[in-house]
Amino acid sequence: MAGEVEAANAFSKLRILIVDDNAAMRGLVRTVLSAFGCEWIFEAATAQHCLATLRQEPIDLIIMDWKMSPVDGLTLVRMLRSQEKSPCPFVPIIMLTAYTETSKVREARDAGVTEFMAKPFASDSLYLRIQTIVNRPRSFVRTKEFFGPDRRRLKPKDYEGPERREDEYQTA
């Protein structure tokens, strides 16, 4: 298809940060990303290390665990979406977690994650999430209560109800 690039070539240009306190899981994710063609893979075991890396490296994408200590992944996402304090409030974040409950997916989305992915993870699922982030990035939404990727994935064409998010306006 026109405008498509070879995956290995594309991945070789991406700088991806894996944030997980479990070294084994970081190793598995690194293995898969390397096989995709990624050459710039960074790792962090804590939120503090993650923030330090983000201040030093122009990271394109974060793959993050939820259950970490002393600062958990959800708190870290909120910190990264804080426009006053974050080094990269727009960075795409894939939450890769063993939590699979619907309530957890909703909680992660409301914190500002871009994509949610359940462990145990499959390599094709990870590829698909990254492909979506590159090809169809979400717009960002800012309200008094929320800043992060638009939580509306679907825009049903047959929806005839009112626009519930009033006062909507676009910025480039």
Partner 1 sequence: MSSREKPIEIITPPNMLRVKVGGRLPAADPEAIARAEKALDQLSGEFGNWLGQEVDKLEAALKDVKTHGLAGDHGDALFTVAHDLRGLGSTYEFPLVTRIAASLARLIETPEKRSTVPTPLAEAHVHTIRAALIQNIRTDQDPVGRQLAEELETRVVALVGEPT
Question: Half-sphere exposure (CA, 13 Å, Cβ side) for 93?
Answer: 32
Site residue total, partner 1 (CB under 8 A): 65
Sign for the CA dihedral angle at 52, 150, 101, 15 comes to: negative
Among 16, 19, 26, 36, binds partner 1 (CB under 8 A): 36
What residues between 96 and 155 interact with partner 1 by CB under 8 A? 97-99, 101-103, 119-121, 123-124, 127-128, 130-131, 133-135, 137, 139-146, 150
Candidates 134, 140, 147; CA nearest to 61 is 134
> 42 near 30, Cβ under 8 Å?
no
For residue 158, the minimal CB distance to partner 1 (Å) is: 20
> Judged by CB under 8 A, which stretch of 20-28, 47-55, 108-116, 153-161 contacts partner 1?
20-28
Among 60, 79, 86, 87, binds partner 1 (CB under 8 A): 60
CB atoms closer than 10 angstroms to residue 7? 13
